[in-house]
Each structure stands twice: as C-alpha cells, then as structure tokens.
Amino acid sequence: MEKDRRFYTRLLNVESVTFCNTLSQALQRQFLYLDDQIPKNCTDSDAQRSFDARFYALGYTAVIARWAQEEMQISAEELSARLIHMAESSERVSYYRNIENRQI
C-alpha cells in the first residue's frame, strides 16, 4: 500500500492533468463499450450515450484523483469495491427506470 501511495502521489503531483485525461478517456471508452452490449432497442441516442459515458468517466476520475491526493485514506481494494458497488447500484436504478418507462 505504501508503494502504491508514493507512486500515485508522485504521478498526480507531476502529471495530474495527463493522468486524469488519460484515465477519463479510458473510462469513457469502457462505459461506451459496456453500453454497446445492451440490446439496441433499449438504448438512448448516441448523443445521450456519449454524455452519460463522459459523466461517469469524469466522476470516477475525480474520485480516484481525490483519493490519491488525500493520501489514500482507504485501501485501493476498498476504493475499487466502492466504485463497483456504485456502478452496480446505477445499473439497478437504470434497469428499474427502463421497466417503469415501458409500463407507462
């Protein structure tokens, strides 16, 4: 953990903009890829999908950057578990909203 802390702290102190941009772009691509796995009749417009992917990517990037800048008060594993839980919770909310929209 201490080795990870030094690595991320140094990286963010020296290359924070590059790190955040690279991470955000990678996450955005990943969110779009995951969205592509949804059947096409259940998806939003391309503009909405791009907005959603960027929103989540920037949010996750901000959480990770803040975590590293605040000296990682929780372990990387705990942060990962919390981010996964957040993504799964968002997925459940979207699923139920989609069902509600179909019934209206």
The pLDDT-based confidence of 25 (bands split at 50, 70, 90) is very high
Query: What value does the mean pLDDT of the chain take?
Result: 78
pLDDT, mean of residues 36-54: 77
The CATH architecture one would assign to domain 2-74 is Orthogonal Bundle (1.10)
The predicted model gives 33-46 an average pLDDT of 73
Give me the residue spans of the domains in the chain.
2-74
Of the chain, the end-to-end C-alpha distance in Å amounts to: 50
pLDDT at 62 over 80: yes
Q: How confident is the model at residue 100 (pLDDT cuts 50, 70, 90)?
A: low
